[in-house]
Structure 1
Amino acid sequence: MDMRLETTQAGFTLSLDGRLLLRHSAAAPCFFVGRGNDSIEMHRGRFEIEDRLVERCPLAHAEIDGERIVLAVMKGQPPRLVIRLEGNALVLQTVDSTVNRFWIRVAADQDEHVWGGGEQFSYFDLRGRRFPLWSSEPGVGRDKTTEITFKADVTDKAGGDYYHTYYPQPTYLSSARYALHVATSAFSAFDFRDRSFHEIEVWAVPERIELFAAPSFIELVEMLSGRFGRQPPLPEWVYNGAIIGLKDGTNSFKRLVKMREAGVKVTGLWCEDWVGIRPTAFGARLFWNWQANETRYPGLRQRIAELNSEGIRFLGYVNPHLCDDGALFKEAEAADYFVRDASGRTALIDFGEFHCGIVDFTNPDAAAWFSEEIIGVRMLDYGLSGWMADFGEYLPADVRLANGMDAKLMHNQWPTLWAEVNAKAVASRGKTGEGLFFMRAGFTGVQKYCPLLWAGDQSVDFSRHDGLVTVMCAALSSGLLGNAFHHSDIGGYTSLFGNVRTPELIMRWAEMAAFSPVMRSHEGNRPRDNLQLDGDAVVLQHFARMTEIYVHLAPYLKTLSLEAAQRGLPVQRPLFLHHEADRRTYTIQDSYLYGPDLLVAPIWQASQEQRTVYLPAGTSWVHVWTGQSFSGGDKITVDAPLGQPAVFHRADSAFGSLFRGLREI
């Protein structure tokens, strides 16, 4: 990459491989600094964030000294910011200790598209909107115009909005074939509303701003995955079927037998409630004391061994908190392993009818204890092959940490620390690439540790901002930043205010999941109120067929898994990744490429039996179920009855015979 700083009559320009990124003049500066007083308050993983801005100063005067840019408000005044070019980065140093706000404006084209920002659920192309980047619960409904979001807000401040995400990351990719990453963990915001520039705001002076450029989108994604880390290939056992999520005590085993007898291909049994449960107003919650509950699951270790002998793995659940009425809480508190509050006592977090301490992962002893004694001994040694590593976004902004850092700066980093604790436990048993944990929370660097993302707690519906369609957007946005493997709860999770699953929803979600890296079901937060896979014969038969499709495609998925490990390319890909000459693909977020050869367009709206799909130009596509051929470059409409989602394969694919075999399932 060629990063070039040049002086101009009015100031300076900075370009990357010939692409203009910064244009500075006294009349139109691109750097600003200032001061602000923020307020960040948490309520059960949701944050009210406000800033009282005291100062915002344009740094109008610039002096170029070799590879250094010295910036001041005006000529003759002392400098407030010094920038040094180093490799592919701008290294920033503030000269004024009062500065705690920073803005940069990056030159933009009128027709430019922008993607990334971590894992985004509502909008894939970020252009035209502002995105605060702070790890949090996304909220219920995530659309302020809907009744369910209104009720969630009124009931528990839980409604959310389009930009809320478990996994923010201050990185974006541009259709101009460059990427920008801000090396900071502070609260930040990407603002893409102006047509002539992108503005980045950070509540600190970032260490660096890293720039990447490549001649193709694929090469750019490879660069970013190399920067942030790559996951190992999926475990071999994953390809054998679905991971069935049941939290019904010993009855889970009986239900699993019936599902297998109905033809469901099963590779794993996932029982969140292996640790026991507690009833709450939200629904059945788990008992957050991370060890087997022999009352709910008598003889579990032997049961796990029996499942293993049948080729079925057992998975559980864990998160970085310990309930204050559990035995492990007392052990951790005695060892001083918890995050502390302002008074120096163990900080207790209200999770709704119970309270927990947060294990302080900035304390090396606490992190090692959790990794070894909880995940290593009580989970891996016990026989678990995987687990949901939940939460990670609940660190309050006002707690005290062992490493002395401001919790406002550690909050976004917390998911990455949590992922590292899990990864070290797996590695300590020699099971990297064999043990599988999945997370919803994330931040810069989580890619290096977390082998699989899941999309979190969608509503059990087809809603635009919180339903099935958001899972595709989440996979595509996070996949561009090196998160190669993504999946979701089949049927959604959150059921509130009378919103419950329909048979159609479960079946359409299962169709999408059959064309994703991992198929996994979930009973949701209110299992007894919602339809389950084994609660309807038609639904169960449909699901069994979808698991057959998933297993049938395993040879293809294995090649994608290996490619992900070697090159960092995601399994689920935006259409433009392989069709960048076709700009009509740049804004599509409700269909995706499954590897380079399959195009998948799930039905994501209720009562739909047809699907209109755009097929990228320059390629001949074959409809999987009928064998009909289509030329790319236009929208087409195909029948998509239940059991036949709109799926196409490249006519020249080396896997053509495998794809044609889907018609026989």
Structure 2
Amino acid sequence: MQVQISTFEDGFQLDFAGRTLLRHSPSCPALVTARGDARVEMYRGNFRIEDAPADVTAPNAWQVEGDSILLLRDSAPVARLTLAPAAVAIEALTAGHDRIWVHFHAEPDETIWGGGEQMSYLALNGRRYPMWTSEPGVGRDKSTDLTRIMDETGMAGGDYWNTNYPQPTLLTSRWLAIHLDSTSYSVIDACDQTRHSFEVWSPKVRFELFAADGPQDLVSQLSTRFGRPRALPDWAIGGAIVGLKQGEKSFDRLEAFIDAGAAVSGLWCEDWAGIRETSFGRRLFWDWQRHETRYPDLPARIKALNERGIRFLAYANPYLAVDGALYQEALAEGHLCRRLDAEEPYLVDFGEFDCGVLDFTRAESREWFARRILCEEMLDIGIDGWMADFGEYLPTDVRLANGMDAMEAHNLWPLLWAQVNDDAAAMRGKQGEAVFFMRAGFSGVSAHCPLLWAGDQSVDFTRHDGIGTVITAALSAGLVGNAYSHSDCGGYTSLHGNIRSVELMQRWCELAAFAPVMRSHEGNRPDDNLQYDSTPELLACFARWSRLHAHLAPYVRHLCDEALATGLPAQRPLFLHYPEDSSLYAVQDQFLYGADLLVAPVIEQGATSRRVVLPGEGSWRHAWTGIDYVCGTHDIAAPIGHPPVFYRTDSAFAPLFAAMQGIMAG
């Protein structure tokens, strides 16, 4: 499809696939350029980014030159738009101008989605979203005491737009998608209902365009563009992964889960390389080799688990603690990022310990980390999965081996980190069998990362940082190519007296069972918080929902096959299958699990019922009572242990779904 240009009295219009893309006139310019003056501050993965643009220039004349449009200001060239099939490239022509604002056309009632993995809002309308990978923050709500405290102690409170995984892609309810093909700092601005704006910190930008007759085809096109992840292996979807971090005692604790009747597919011990205690809580020792004292004879332990059909998972990230042996090895071989003003390695404070940053712009360094650590230290001793953590912390004042500006490289880092992990799996022929999961991301991560996780939610029900953000994260990320998402069952961040409740633990099980992978986490302060093996009741709760999760494995396999064939994610916003109903466009507290299951988790503290939207026509069957409900909005009872779950009676998997009632009753 070609971008088309047409003119009107004092301006021009660009159309794509029969849709107005932008309209430009001197009184309402579609493009503005300026000279930026950035100030960037980072503290432990939290960023404060400000700009003071000068010499802001809006064109007041234009002329067509073949496949391009020259924009002028008082006869002086300001910018050039170059049209191509399904793309528009823009270059600022004023010397020193490195900021571009582009205002795409919007219809008054148009809804937009995208922005990568968003935690607070599925529909982006009415807000600005900086595209910059970072820590999401703790609390993420400026009206709360927790966010205020975290802001005061390290810029760490966050806001609604902070995310580990931004992506400058937007989708609209005209079934049009616009993608900024750049790793530069940018902002999607949806505050003005008459336009969708991009602010880009670069003198050159390129926008890719996609159009379809409906959302499913649009999502499919985007998943083809950014890369579809491989299908998850049977072991990952066939039971729960139990997260424990108590050294050798973890193996004994695992037996209690099994004795309680849990369906266990994996044991995840993120402390396999050792621990260190900090004021934040129990942190890991960032030297990625097994800790012989904490986990003696780990390869034999792994082999014994494998013989019982249980996989062992570990942890790694792209940084090395200065007091570890691998740091010295990386330093000697030139694998670390350097300071701008010296040959010394650039060190980052990760919270009471310093680390070197792997320079993944060097092919040799990517190969070294993949081979030396992920293969030799992990895959070669039988580890079948790991959390590939972080990726958001690249400082903007490091010197990179390939000469790339760190402001441009910062958003690229999660993609390079995903490639390193994928390369390691390829080196050992384990792609599609070994599973690593990431929180950080940017455009293209889905081609390499088999599984997302939603990051470090607070252990609560809060609107912007609690259990409900897991749903929004999965739905938003799924629209831009990521088929599989999951979360830390039980939540992660416990600070300033915020600790897990029994209710939260129970409700998180109900949610986690309806994700492709179910995995628990002990959190950052395990000794202060409830664990699933803290009481017989919690252990029974986890075991019951793990069995239900395992029971759904045939359906999840179907969803994996569908994701490979079409790019559709496992967890879907309701409008993906019911686009004719605009009232569904902003629904983010329930989801379709494939086309045939509807899940409405309870994400409000103390709630014993909730309002549920059953979309489409006909009826949906309540999974726990067998009662059929007509489509529409209903108040559904939701006692603990019975969250609202419905299925289509005409589904090929209806017998499988009907059997869920017996599992939960048993």
Q: TM-score, normalised by structure 1?
A: 0.98
Is structure 2 residue 617 aligned with structure 1 residue 629? no
1:433 equivalent to 2:449? Answer no
Residue 579 of structure 1 aligns with an amino acid whose one-letter code is: Y
The one-letter amino acid of 2:370's match is: S
1:257-268 correspondence runs (5 A): 257-268=255-266
Letter in 1 for 2:320: L
Q: Which amino acid aligns with 2:250?
A: S
Which residue matches 2:177? 179
Question: Which string of whole-angstrom CA distances, capped at 9 and with x for unpartnered residues, describes residues 418-445 of structure 1?
Answer: 0000000001111111000000000011
What is the alpha-carbon distance in structure 1 between the residues aligned to residue 34 and residue 214 of structure 2?
37
Q: What is the CA–CA distance in structure 2 between the aligned matches of 1:654 and 1:293, rounded to whole Å?
A: 48
Q: Deviations over 1:491-519 (max 9, x none)?
A: 10000001000111011011011111100
> d(CA) in 2 for partners of 1:418 and 1:310?
32
What is the aligned partner in structure 1 of residue 498 from structure 2?
A: 499
> How big is each residue's C-alpha offset from its partner over 1:157-212, in whole Å with a ceiling of 9 and x where there is no partner?
21111000001110010011000000111110011111211111001134411110
1:542-595 CA-to-partner distances (Å, cap 9, x unmatched) read 111101111111111100011112221100000000001111110100000000
Asked whether the 8 Å contact 2:91–2:203 carries over to 1, the reply is: yes
Instruction: Name the CA distance, whole Å, in 1 between partners of 2:425 and 2:95.
Output: 42
Distance (whole Å) between structure 2 residues aligned to residue 4 and residue 598 of structure 1: 42
Q: How does 1:258-407 map to 2 (within 5 A)?
A: 258-344=256-342, 345-407=344-406
State the SS of the aligned residue for 2:5.
strand
| Between 579-588 and 3-12, the greater mean CA deviation after superposition | 3-12
Give the letter for the 1:36 counterpart.
G
Pick which of 194-203 and 436-445 moved more: 194-203
Show the 5 A alignment for 1:200-219: 200-219=198-217
Unaligned residue ranges in structure 2 (runs of 5+): none
Q: Tell me the residue number matched to 1:421.
A: 420
Q: Partners in 2 of 1:467 and 1:451 — Cα distance? A: 24
The residue that corresponds to 2:63 in the other structure is 63
496-505 vs 155-164, greater mean Cα deviation: 155-164
Distance 1:11 1:608 in 2: 55
CA distance in 2, matches of 1:156, 1:289: 25
Asked if the contact 2:92/2:204 (under 8 Å) is kept, the reply is no
State the match for 2:53 in structure 1.
Answer: 53
Q: What is residue 441 of structure 2 aligned with on the other side?
A: 442
**Structure 2 Cα separation of the partners of residues 206 and 574 of structure 1:** 34
Matches of 1:418 and 1:165, distance apart in 2: 17
Does structure 1 residue 484 correspond to structure 2 residue 457?
no
- Structure-1 residue corresponding to 2:16: 16
Q: Secondary structure at the match of 2:38?
A: strand
How far, CA to CA, are the matches of 1:53 and 1:243 in structure 2? Answer: 49
Aligned counterpart, 2:129: 131
Counting only pairs closer than 5 Å after superposition, residues 220-235 of structure 1 correspond to structure 2 as 220-235=218-233
**Alignment-mate amino acid for residue 54 of structure 1:** A
User: Contact 1:7–1:64 (CA<8 Å) still a contact in 2?
Assistant: no
Distance 2:374 2:94 in 1: 45
Distance 1:543 1:378 in 2: 31
Asked if 2 retains the 8 angstrom alpha-carbon contact of 1:183 and 1:206, the reply is no
Q: CA deviation at 1:335?
A: 1.0
CA distance in 2, matches of 1:110, 1:619: 31
CA distance in 2, matches of 1:479, 1:561: 13
Residue 35 of structure 1 contacts residue 99 of structure 1 at CA under 8 Å; is this kept in 2? yes
Q: Distance in 2 between matches of 1:207 and 1:372?
A: 36
The letter of the residue matching 1:223 is: Q
| Correspondence for 2:159 among 158, 161, 168 | 161
CA deviation string 1:7-57 (max 9, x = no partner): 222221111121111111121110111111101111000001111111221
The residue identity in structure 2 corresponding to 1:319 is N
Counterpart contact for 1:574–1:588, Cα < 8 Å: yes
- Over residues 520-541 of structure 1, what are the superposed CA-to-partner deviations in whole Å (9 max), with x where a residue is unaligned? 0000000000000000111111
Please point out which of 136, 140, 144 is paired with 1:142: 140
Give me the whole-angstrom Cα distance separating, in 2, the residues matched to 1:439 and 1:97: 40
CA contact (8 A) 1:622 1:650 kept: yes
- Contact 2:2 / 2:84 at 8 angstroms: preserved in 1? no
SS at match of 1:447: helix
CA distance in 2, matches of 1:55, 1:192: 24
Superposed CA deviations along residues 610-630 of structure 1, whole A, max 9, x for unmatched, are 121111132421111111111
Q: How does 1:78-89 map to 2 (within 5 A)?
A: 79-89=77-87
- TM-aligned CA deviation for residue 137 of structure 1: 0.3
Range with bigger deviation, 57-66 or 139-148: 57-66
Measure, in 2, the Cα distance between the counterparts of 1:511 and 1:638: 16
Decide whether aligned partners of structure 1 residues 91 and 156 sit closer, same or farther in structure 2, where only a CA change above 3 A counts: closer
**Does the CA-based 8 Å contact 2:92-2:98 persist in structure 1?**
no
CA distance in 1, matches of 2:160, 2:350: 23
Match of 1:303, SS state, is helix
Task: State how far apart, in whole Å, the 2-side matches of 1:615 and 1:390 are.
Answer: 37
Q: Give the match's secondary structure for 2:113.
A: strand
Task: Give distance in 2, aligned partners of 1:546 and 1:96.
Answer: 61
What count of residue pairs does the alignment treat as equivalent?
662
Whether contact under 8 Å (2:33, 2:92) holds in the other structure is no
**Separation in structure 1 between the aligned mates of residue 537 and residue 589 of structure 2, nearest angstrom:** 26
Structure 2 CA distance for aligned equivalents of residues 65 and 342 of structure 1: 43
The 3 A distance-change label for structure 1 pair 379 and 97 is farther
- Contact 2:322 2:328 survives alignment (8 Å): yes
CA deviations on 1:230-264 (whole Å, 9 max, x unpaired) are 00000111122100000000000000001100011
Q: Secondary structure of the equivalent of 1:500?
A: coil
Report the Cα offset of residue 150 of structure 1. 1.1
Amino acid at match of 2:146: I
Report the CA distance between 1:4 and its aligned residue: 1.5
3-state SS of paired residue (1:103): strand
**Greater mean alpha carbon deviation, residues 231-240 or residues 476-485:** 231-240
1:253 to 237, 251, 257: 251
The one-character-per-residue Cα deviations of 1:384-442 (angstroms, maximum 9, x if unpaired) are: 10000000000001111001011000001100000000000001111111000000000
Q: Superposed, which structure 2 residues align to 1:545-564 within 5 Å? A: 545-564=544-563
Give the C-alpha shift of residue 2 in structure 1: 4.7
The one-letter code of the counterpart of 2:408 is L
Match of 1:527 in 2: 526
User: Is residue 3–residue 84 contact of structure 2 (8 Å, CA) maintained in 1?
Assistant: no
Structure-2 residue corresponding to 1:664: 662
Q: What's 1:38 paired with?
A: 38
Per mean C-alpha deviation after superposition, the further-off stretch among 414-423 and 150-159 is 150-159
Is 1:454–2:461 an aligned residue pair? Answer: no
Q: Secondary structure of the residue that 1:468 maps to in structure 2?
A: coil
Q: 1:347 & 1:53 partners in 2: Cα distance?
A: 29
Structure 1 residues 48 and 143: CA distance shift in structure 2, 3 A: same
What secondary structure is seen at the aligned counterpart in 1 of 2:507? helix
Name the Cα RMSD after superposition.
1.0
Match of 1:468 in 2: 467
Report if the CA contact (8 A) 1:222-1:568 is conserved. Answer: yes
Corresponding residue SS for 1:534: coil
SS of 1:450's equivalent in the other structure is: coil
- The answer to whether the Cα contact below 8 Å between 2:362 and 2:401 also exists between their aligned partners in 1 is yes
Tell me, in whole angstroms, the C-alpha distance in 2 between the residues paired with 1:625 and 1:509. Answer: 18
| Alignment check: 8 A CA contact 1:613 1:636 kept | yes
Q: Equivalent residue for 1:600?
A: 599
Contact 2:69–2:81 (CA<8 Å) still a contact in 1? yes
Give the SS at the match of 1:181.
strand
Structure 1 gap ranges (5+): none
**Aligned residue type for 1:116:** G
